[in-house]
Amino acid sequence: MIEIRDLTKRYGSFTALDHLNLSLEEGVVFGFVGANGAGKSTTFSILATLLSPTSGDALINGKSVIKEPKEVRKLIGYMPDFFGVYDQLKVDEYLDFYGASYGIGAAERKVLIPQLLELVNLTNKRYDYVDLLSRGMKQRLCLARALIHDPKVLILDEPASGLDPRARVEMRDILRNLKSMGKTILISSHILPELAEMCDEIGVIDNGKLIAHGNVASIQAQLQGEKRIVIKVTDCLNEVRAFLEEDPLISSIDVIENRLEIAFNYRGTDADQVALLKKAILANLPIYALREEEKDLEDVFMAITKGADNQ
């Protein structure tokens, strides 16, 4: 459905996108992860036909964003990170205007608008002025606007930014609904764990380069093969620490005295871990709990981008 080939965008000497390559199947929800200025919005702007790349091309359903932008616009629904609304326009008029802008007939628009408002939970706001809506409602309205021509691809740039937790949950529910409708969704967000839950694939972009791409599990596996293990003890923190320091597979030991916890990085396999545990029990160490610290997408992102910086 989406094919990005060697996409490069330069602003003078600054390279915003550096030979980006990406291929996405139909119906996939793709999460774009990256720091501010990494190139996410530039990529989305090019896909939304708002910006020409310096070189390379992007195809949406086989249509080039450079050669056939009008065809591409029929296929995409775009929601920018920052957007405004028209003052003195009511919610249904707002949608009606954009519906007409996509060439949808008046009769069809009349049927579509209530359906879309229902989808984004704004039915009761139909005759309210758009500029009087809350930010969360405006975000949902903008999403409804992006859906009015029933696009195959949704490009959502930071759809949850600036929303309170309730509005964020509502937005997530709507996106889940859209996913079930089979839309191909490209989404960028700073709220990384939320992406992990929703996305089939994740791409990590840093300094204009796609440094990791795959499903959430495979990306997590790219983390240097080390686990972070936390053990809880009833006593003898120093003894346990000394015991752990003897193991060559263990590094970065942190003692959290007030919680009687010790955290460390472990390079060994699962079998090595079993052996370590056995050894600790035989040594009569007062360990009553052991757990592996879960790494969320934020850790993945931090680790990967740190790795890229060091290169």
Partner 1 sequence: MMERFYNPVFVKELKLRFRSFKSFSGLMFYLAVICIFIAGFLLITTGFTGKGFFKPETSFMMFAVLTILQMALVLFITPSLTAGAISSEREKQTLNILLTTTQSSTQIIIGKLLSSVAFLVLMLIAGLPLYSIVFLFGGVSPSQLISIFLFYLLTVVAIGSIGVMFSTITKRTIVAMISTYGSIIFLGGITAFFFFLTVAFHQMGNTAVGTTTSYMAYFWASINPGALMLTLTSSSMGDALAQVSGVELPVWISYLIAYSLIIVFCLTIAIKKLRANMKSNR
List residues near partner 1 by CB under 8 A.
45, 48-52, 66-67, 69-70, 73-74, 76, 78, 80, 82-89, 93, 97-98, 100-103, 105-106, 142, 145, 149
The least CB distance from residue 140 to partner 1, in Å, is 15
Closer to partner 1 by CB, 47 or 205: give it.
47
* Burial classification of residue 185, based on how many CB atoms lie within 10 Å of its CB (0-12 exposed, 13-18 middle, 19 or more buried): buried
The least CB distance from residue 79 to partner 1, in Å, is 8
Among 43, 73, 46, CA closest to 61: 73
User: In degrees rounded to 5, what are phi and psi of residue 285?
Assistant: -80, 140
Report yes or no: 129 and 90 within 8 Å, Cβ to Cβ. yes
Closer to partner 1 by CB, 117 or 154: give it.
154
Closer to partner 1 by CB, 82 or 288: give it.
82
Closer to partner 1 by CB, 93 or 261: give it.
93
Report yes or no: 212 and 304 within 8 Å, Cβ to Cβ. yes
The DSSP H or E segment spanning 247 is: none
Q: In what order do the strands lie in the sheet with 55-60?
A: 14-24, 2-11, 55-60, 63-64
The least CB distance from residue 71 to partner 1, in Å, is 9
The least CB distance from residue 206 to partner 1, in Å, is 24
The least CB distance from residue 84 to partner 1, in Å, is 4
The least CB distance from residue 17 to partner 1, in Å, is 14
- Please state, in angstroms and rounded to a whole number, the distance separating the CA atoms of residues 191 and 301: 11
Closer to partner 1 by CB, 23 or 83: give it.
83
168: tokens are: 């964020």
Among 130, 161, 132, 163, CA closest to 144: 130
Closer to partner 1 by CB, 81 or 261: give it.
81
Long-range residue pairs from 118-125, CB within 8 A, at least 24 positions apart, any chain: 119/144, 119/147, 119/174, 119/177, 120/144, 120/174, 121/170, 121/174, 122/91, 125/91
